[in-house]
């Protein structure tokens, strides 16, 4: 974190973090840990999917993926409500409520006695996670904008990515010495700590005079602004497709390593390697985004992603690629995913100004819900080969390129200053 501290001399960054009475490093770590609660609820479950399926006598092995998919569905579906609530009542109260909801439902899930009950509680847990995600993203947007937001989010992701590196091993360790119920108890304990931290350390980032009245008219007006802004809408479509990318990978990864390559016990280590690559990509993005801009980096990344995915699909048509080849391809694709998702998020929110909560809610609702449905569909196509996953990646990449071309009126790699400065919440299509 040394480089972060050195770069915090920028007056914009210091004043941004100071908006909630924090230094820059504390701000980054706090936002990352809050966001990481969502990741740990997903990634720590990966080694337990087979055990959960066996525990409840799930007939179709692919159905165990629903433990992940249903959580993501609840997470995506409910985001649309929390943005408006945080714009009306402030970020802090919604964040605390979300943390409490997340923690209580997690403890309840540890006591589930049927697969159906577990799925219901996972959906509810996803709702609490959505409140956490929406408010933390809105807090970042309250405090920073443009390239500074992209840079801060990249550093947040570096800390955040420790979770995917550690969480599967944590879940595996629990499975070895106890059973999957204890994974939920552990997550609930983490949620309790985060609630206490937010209660004592996090200040409000949205001033009273910047809040919007909670009414149907105000909400619809906010939705209209978001959905009619060409940049926000176009990049939201791209985020949806890349949410499908990460969802398809997460729900399929246990079967890929376990069934195709017979390396199920090595899943935590292999998953940690790809997560480490994502962390490296985010660090590089934080370093280079000021020089090259969000569009140049993300547009190049989505084109290379699509080409690599197409190569992977062509190889899988011939036969199952060697593990080393597949692993390198997945690692490269996920690093490119990180560059795309981080910058697309910042670009989509930049025109929204004080509508950050509503904008984050709508983009999160559409991208996560749509991405979950698309990604889960790819996961359900798992047939013992890599064809569904690589083929899905290639299609998602292609349609993202088309959506971006539409958003940018046919131009890629434009300098951020050419458009960012000219856009505001009134910049409609």
C-alpha span between 33 and 35 (Å, rounded): 5
Which of 364, 360, 391 lies closest to 139, judged by CA? 360
For 61, 119, 388, the CA distances from 46, given in Å and listed in that order, are 13, 15, 20
Q: Which regions in the chain score pLDDT beneath 50?
A: 1-15, 415-417, 419-429
Contact (Cβ atoms closer than 8 angstroms) between residue 198 and residue 102:
no
Domains and CATH numbers, the chain: 13-420 (1.20.1250.20)
Which tens digits make up the pLDDT trace of 114-161? 999 999 999 999 999 999 988 888 888 788 876 777 778 777 877 776
C-alpha span between 394 and 100 (Å, rounded): 39
State whether the Cα torsion 340-234-374-220 is positive or negative: positive
What residues contact 325, with CB distance under 8 A and at least 6 apart? Answer: 315
What residues contact 180, with CB distance under 8 A and at least 6 apart? Answer: 45, 48, 51, 52, 55, 174
Predicted pLDDT of residue 146: 67
**Token pair belonging to 304:** 């290379």
C-alpha radius of gyration, the chain, whole number: 20
Contact (Cβ atoms closer than 8 angstroms) between residue 358 and residue 87:
yes
Which of 235, 256, 243, 197 lies closest to 343, judged by CA? 235
Predicted pLDDT of residue 218: 62
Predicted pLDDT of residue 416: 43
For 37, 46, 60, 159, the CA distances from 167, given in Å and listed in that order, are 11, 9, 26, 13
Which tens digits make up the pLDDT trace of 15-55? 467 677 677 888 888 888 898 888 899 888 988 888 898 88
C-alpha span between 150 and 209 (Å, rounded): 26
Which of 110, 76, 86 lies closest to 190, judged by CA? 110
- Give the CA count within 13 Å in the CB-facing half-sphere of 429: 15
Residue with tokens 């409490």: 100
The secondary structure of 365-384 as a DSSP string is HHHHHHHHHHHHHHHHT--S
C-alpha span between 213 and 35 (Å, rounded): 27
C-alpha span between 108 and 101 (Å, rounded): 11
**Token pair belonging to 66:** 């629903």
The pTM of the full predicted model, rounded to 2 decimals, is 0.75
For 85, 90, 96, 141, 354, the CA distances from 209, given in Å and listed in that order, are 15, 11, 21, 17, 11
């Amino acid at each position: 974190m040394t480089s972060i501290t050195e770069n915090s001399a920028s007056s914009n960054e210091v004043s941004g973090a100071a908006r909630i009475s924090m230094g820059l490093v504390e701000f980054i770590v706090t936002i990352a840990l809050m966001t990481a609660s969502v990741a740990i609820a997903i990634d720590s479950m990966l080694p337990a999917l087979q055990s959960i399926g066996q525990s409840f006598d799930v007939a179709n092995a692919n159905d165990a993926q629903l433990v992940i998919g249903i959580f993501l569905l609840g997470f995506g579906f409910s985001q649309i409500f929390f943005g408006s609530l945080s714009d009306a009542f402030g970020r802090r109260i919604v964040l605390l409520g979300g943390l409490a909801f997340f923690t209580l439902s997690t403890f309840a899930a540890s006591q589930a006695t049927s697969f159906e009950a577990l799925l219901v509680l996972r959906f509810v847990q996803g709702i609490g996670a959505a409140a956490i995600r929406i408010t933390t993203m809105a807090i970042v947007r309250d405090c920073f904008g443009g390239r500074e937001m992209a840079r801060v989010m990249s550093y947040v992701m570096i800390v955040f990515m420790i979770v995917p590196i550690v969480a599967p091993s944590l879940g595996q360790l629990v499975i070895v010495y106890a059973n999957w119920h204890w994974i939920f108890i552990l997550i609930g304990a983490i949620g309790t700590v985060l609630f206490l931290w937010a209660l004592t350390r996090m200040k409000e980032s949205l001033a009273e005079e910047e809040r919007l009245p909670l009414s149907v008219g105000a909400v619809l007006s906010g939705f209209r602004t978001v959905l009619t802004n060409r940049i926000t809408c176009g990049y939201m479509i791209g985020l949806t497709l890349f949410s499908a990318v990460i969802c398809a990978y997460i729900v399929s990864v246990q079967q890929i390593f376990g069934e195709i390559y017979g390396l199920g016990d090595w899943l935590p280590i292999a998953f940690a390697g790809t997560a480490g690559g994502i962390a490296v990509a985010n660090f590089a993005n934080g370093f280079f985004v000021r020089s090259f801009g969000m569009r140049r980096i993300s547009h190049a990344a989505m084109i290379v992603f699509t080409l690599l995915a197409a190569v992977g699909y062509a190889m899988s048509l011939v036969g199952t690629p060697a593990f080393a080849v597949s692993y390198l391809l997945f690692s490269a694709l996920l690093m490119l995913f990180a560059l795309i998702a981080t910058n697309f998020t910042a670009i989509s929110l930049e025109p929204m100004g004080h509508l950050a909560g509503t904008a984050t809610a709508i983009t999160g609702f559409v991208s996560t819900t749509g991405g979950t449905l698309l990604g889960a569909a790819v996961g359900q196509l798992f047939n013992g080969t890599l064809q569904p996953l690589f083929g899905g990646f290639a299609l998602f990449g292609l349609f993202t390129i088309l959506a971006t071309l539409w958003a940018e009126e046919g131009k890629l790699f434009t300098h951020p200053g050419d458009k960012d400065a000219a856009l505001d919440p009134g910049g409609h299509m």
